[in-house]
Structure 1
Amino acid sequence: MTEGTEEFAKRIERVVEKTFEAEGETVHFQTVRTPDERLPTGERVQLKVAIGSDHRGVILKKRLVEYLAELGHLVVDCGIEEGQTGDYPDIALRVAEKVARKVCDFGIVIDAVGVGSAIAANKVKGIRAATCYDVESARSSRLHNDANVLS
């Protein structure tokens, strides 16, 4: 059974909150008004998502990989593992190339802020990476700008 957009957003927020709490930090999400969006009942789309992070995003990446897999999506990990180091531009390029070559439908890049990864990913032809900090900016980037990589 598919879930509503707001419920999905809340689940993602809980994953992010738990990740920050595990690191002794807190994060607060703004409440935004969202349109009443519904997916057709019973229809589940399986996406292939490229995901990568530098060392600052490894824990969140791991949780997002697990969450996306729980939803039935295929995940291609283009990043590093815990304890490894890697430069965000290289990781962003790997994710962007998977999306540009249509190996994956969408990409997610995680680093400290997200802006650098978006800049690096946008150097790849056909990529429209957007740095988003809440559900509304992510939705707007996808609907109005056809973003295919989230940072």
Structure 2
Amino acid sequence: MIREKKSWLTGILVFALLCTLLLVVPQEHAMAASKKVPAFDKTKQIVFVGDEDSYVDSIKFVNVSSKAKVTNIKFSNPSVLEYAGMHNVNQGIDCRPLKAGKCKISCKVKQCGKTYTLSQNITVKKADPFSYVKLNGKNVQ
């Protein structure tokens, strides 16, 4: 009789513990996801100037929800890097490299009622896939 009471009591306690875990765990994950601070995916980035004017590169975000709003997008040196638009937050900021140099991108991200100011340094370099080309032992470039 005592064994039956103990097994019933153990079963009830295990069931109560499982129910408590099911209620608590999803809330903890939701709280952890909302505490992440949005940022650019890299602290420094190198972009190469292409031969075509249509070349566009994307500067991506991390920890940003799809409902976030990005405003006040500014480029410190628009002669080096040009703003080419933004389709949505998940694809990032599109920019077109114009010439070699350095530029700083800054913007504001509004997410979950808070506003974050983000900035990133970008170095634009001229694309040079071949530093030299040898033909019959001589540099022909």
TM-score w.r.t. the length of structure 2 is 0.22
Q: Which has the higher strand share?
A: 2
Larger Rg: 2
TM-score w.r.t. the length of structure 1 is 0.21
Q: Which has the higher helix share?
A: 1
